Structure formats: structure tokens, C-alpha cells
A and B are shown apart, each in its own frame.
Chain A
């Protein structure tokens, strides 16, 4: 191996097609990651408990327990970054996967190089999210502490995934200013201009259910019509 970009970083791939699993494992190992494979949702849950990975890659079409369910179960016990693999970009699968708790998605057939780039962006995100060098921000009852990686809603701590936290920190970096989907995709997900705006929309929705007293009429994370989102000071 000539590249060791991801030494020690452990990826769990959940894919039922034997040959795809092998080929993706080969290619990811070539990129320098440690890879564990699982052929079913059930075995993925076991593998996750035995040897917790840094990133999980889940194919949506699994026999038995499907990818969405795996995603939901994982989310119940962990905020590990999850990438969904879907057949197409324009199906409801993408939104359903994101709503089940995935952080990002890839469509088949993808280039493992591209997947590696996404994984790197994700890991950078979770590290940044913990470190941060931002001041503490308080809007209304909501208090965001980037350094501690903590969000308080009044007296209670709000539990966010790494991506949700990074998203909220981005918005909180300039309260009152509007962030377009493109800017958020670039800063939170590391995408260029042509990233999928639904990533932002679904994550905003998820974020609202956690930080808003009433997610249907948001007080903090508000939509700027046609432009993007902002944190209402």
C-alpha cells in the first residue's frame, strides 16, 4: 500500500452482493482504510457492537432488515457517521435514508475514490465539531458551545449527530445571516456547488425536531425564502 491516509480508521460496509462487497473492500483498503464487511442488517448490528467503526456504509437494498432499519437502529445507540448507498439519486430513497439518520449518500455505481473523499470530509467534520474555535453562542433559550461540542435548550442538553452539530455551528457562526444551501453543502459536507440540496433540507428538518420548541413553526433555525437558512438571533 502506497497511501496511508486513513490508517487506523475503521469502516463497516453493509452490502448483500458478495462480489460488490469484495471489490469495494479491496478498493477501500487500497485507499488505506480498515474495512469490516457485513452481508445482512443483523450481522451489521453484531459487527457494530463487536468492533465499533468510525464510519458505516449501508446499502439500502438488503434482504431481511433493510438499510433504513439498520440506520435507525444504529442511530438509537450511536452518532457514528453513516453513508447510505442508493440505486438512484432521484428517488424517495435518498430522503428516506437521510430521515432515517444517514449523514450523506452515494449512488451506485460510485467511484471508491469519491467515497473516500466523502469519508474524509465526514471524519474532518466530526473532529472539527469536537474541537472548534468558536465563541459560545446564545439565542433565546438555545445555547451552543462549540468547544465542548454541546447544545443546551434551557436546562436540558440536546443530543445532536456530528453533522447536525456542525450544521448548527455554521449557522451560529454568523447569526442572522442567510446561508445558501450551496454554502452549507460546501462547509458542512465538503461538496461543491452541485451537491444535493436535499442533504441540507433534511438535516435542517432533523435539527429542528431537536432544537425547536415547535418544529412546525421554527423560532431559531428559520428559512429565508428561496435563499437558504439562518439562525434567528
Chain B
């Protein structure tokens, strides 16, 4: 599909890129801060966890061993004097057992005595290997119920091994809680870091954001935009040169506009005299000799052509100077097109659509009138007139196709046909001027671009012959409900 214009004005594209760059930088700074916060808080959290774990473990062991020794001492005292085997459970019952510690008394050659079903198999073999020779020993090990801490001592006076096994569930629970708290804190710190980064980046990049917004305003024609003076010397330079640039741009555009308006005035004045004088001549045409009459006809025809060319040139120069502001109106497309066709020199061209409801378009009516007239004129001059105007919706845009059954446009010329004084079709450049559309299609393209739309030409006509000029415009709404207000008739 050949298109003469980008789907959007090029400055819009560059604005997106500019904004993208700022967001990118902002995101990068935020990310760096978040990463920094993550590393820092993770480091702190991990070391906190390790230290706490060690400390907690040491304390738990100390308490457990302490208690084991105290219990062993009590047993020794009780059993030394009243060594009735039957009474052992009573003594065991009387021991202090914090944290659900399990105890096991293992007299040499006698029955192991325990509470809560602790068996001799439950005691790690290597622990016993250390205890039996007379050492106090401790050991961590795992069972199905989780981590366990076992400590034991040999009570030589009563010739028995004594063990206590402490389940570590509480210790592990504490650690799990600690871990959760630390992970939560790290995550919070990371998010805060990202937030801080974003805030700082925004503050630091504020001048750049301001510059981008100002540039945007300038691109859309507001040359009164200035950046505020900055006290920071680095930023002051940016601000100063930016403001200077805007000023230079403004005066340049003003100069161009003034030139266009001066030229316009200078050209219009003699044209006005010519137009009025020629009309007097036309009025008196019947009183003239044959030669004067023919000369008058030539004069009035070429005066119209000259006027048209001057108008087009001035419009182009205003467009180039960026001095054209659209005057948007809201109107119904089908009625508009039928009126344009009725006023044209080919008033019989049908205007059709398969859409339902009123197609309400917001656009510059005067310029769009010019666009459609130019397309109809073009078809009349090169293709024996348009045969059909088709209106269709395409996504959220409206497409107006002006179709003819002429010789069509060579694919190689489908882009350049919208150039100024286009040379499409060999020596057609001169012919174009002679026929008065030297600027017509390029103006069409400029106006369509100004509307944020696009235009192209192809050969996709219903008959397969001729050319199809497709005009695609935004700003269309379908009103299927009909008018809400009652219209005067």
C-alpha cells in the first residue's frame, strides 16, 4: 500500500522517543536504587539472621545442658540414698522439664527408664559412645518430628547414663518468624528504595521533563513557551540555550509568516484590480469586436488559473511556515460530501456508504472541502471524472475513496504524485501546471497530514480499472441514535 504521508506527524514520533528516553532514565535510576536497597537490606538481613541463629542456638543449648546437669545431679542425690528401682519413675516425674524435654535414665545392665516413651534406640549411637566412657556430650540430629538436641552425662555414683532430648520446634519456629520478618523488611526496603530512586530521578530530571514539555508546546505552535531560569549553573546553561533557540525559532517563523503575508498582500492587490476589471470587460463582452472578445475570454480564464495558483502557493508557504491552524467544525460526512460534489464541476458523482447511522466528523470543513474538490478536479482532468465516492469506517477512522475509471496511476508514481509540481507521468509536470493542479495534490497531502490523517492512491477500484485515492481521517464518531435535540426545519 503506497502512502504519501506518515500515519502521524514526525514530531509526534520524536516526542514519543524523547518521553521514552526520560521514562527510561527514570526507570533506570529507580531500578538502581531498588537494587541497591535490595542488596543492602539482604546483606543486613542475612547477617542478622546468622548472628541471631547462632546466639539463639547457643542460648538454647546452654539452657538445655544446664537443666540436664541439674536433673542429673538431682537423680544422683535421690537414687544414691533411696535406690528403689520401682521409685525411679516418681523421681523422673519430679524433674524439671522445660520445653517438653524428654528424659531417659539408662542404668548399666538395667531397664531403661523414661517418660513419654523415649527408647534407647532414640539416643544417637555416637552420643552414647562419648557418654559411656564418662564424658558429658551433646548432639544435634534430625528425626521425623524435626530437629532435636540431645545431651547426656554418665552418673558414675549410680552407674547410669542420663540423657535429655529437647525438640527444637520452638527454636525453629522462632527462626522462621525471624526469617519472615527479615524478608518482609528487605522487600519493604527495596520498594522504598525504588520509590526514593523514582522521586530523586524525577526531581533531578525535572528540568529535562520541563524542557520536553516546553519542546512539545513549541512543536504544537506555542512559541511563548519559555523555561524558568535555573540557579544551578549546569541547568542554567541548558535553560538559556533552550530559550535562545525558541526565540530564534520564533523570530524565524514570524519572519516567514510576515514574508508570506507581505507577498500575499502584494499579490492580492493587483489580482483584485485585475479581477474587478476583467469582470467589467466580461460584462461588456457583447459590445466588443471579435478579437477583443477572444482576448477577454483568454484573460478571464487565465486570471482564474493564476488566482488559484497564487492561493495554492500562499497556502503552501503558510503550511511550510507552520502558520496554519485548523478551524475544526463538527459535521455529518455524507451530507458534506454530497454538497461538495453538487458544487463541483462533476455534480453527478454518487456518494455511497454501507455504514449505518450518522457519521459525525470533526475537521476543518473549509480545508476538507478543498481536499475533496482537488481530488474531484484531479479525476476530472486525468480520468474523465470520478465515478464513485465510497465512505467506510476503518477502525476508529473514516476512509473516503475517490474512484475513477481512467488510465490509473503507475505504481512507480504513486508516491511522487503528491509532490509539489509532481512530474508523475513523464512530462506531466508542465502539463500539471498548465491544467492547474501543479500544487493541488501536494496541498491535499499537506492538509490531510495536518488533520492527522493520511492519503494514498492505488488501483483497487470495483471495476479493477482506474485509480482510487483513499483519504483516511481520524475524529469520526457514529451517531446511530439520531439527533438528541429536535432540529428546526
Contacts and interface: CB of A to CB of B under 8 A. Distances in A.
Interface string A60-93: 0100000000000000000000000001111000
Contacts of B354: none
A89 B314 CA distance: 12
Contacts of A160: none
Interface stretch (B22-30, B126-134, B260-268, B374-382): B260-268
B329 A109 contact: no
A119 B285 CA distance: 24
A127 interface: no
Contacts of B264: 87-88
A181 B330 CA distance: 10
Interface in A149-179: 173-174, 176-179
B483 interface: yes
Binding site of B, secondary structure by majority: helix, strand, loop or mixed?
helix
A197 B488 contact: no
B269 interface: yes
Contact of A20 (B261, B272, B307, B314): B272
Given A30-B279, A177-B488, A24 B272 contact: yes
Given A87-B268, A177-B487, A194-B369, A112 B279 contact: yes
A227 B366 CA distance: 17
B343 A17 contact: no
B8 to A, nearest CB: 23
A226 B330 contact: yes
Contacts of B111: none
Q: Chain A, interface size: which category?
A: 35 or more
Interface residues of B, number: 38
A30 to B, nearest CB: 5
Nearest to A175: B488
Contact of B268 (A24, A109, A192): A109
A183 interface: yes
A25 to B, nearest CB: 8
A226 B335 CA distance: 16
Interface of B: 261, 264-265, 268-277, 279-280, 283-284, 307, 314, 324-325, 327, 329-330, 335-336, 339, 343, 360, 365-366, 369, 483, 485-489
20 contacts: A19-B270, A20-B269, A20-B276, A26-B276, A27-B276, A27-B283, A87-B264, A90-B327, A90-B366, A108-B269, A108-B272, A109-B271, A109-B272, A109-B307, A173-B488, A181-B329, A194-B339, A194-B366, A227-B483, A227-B485
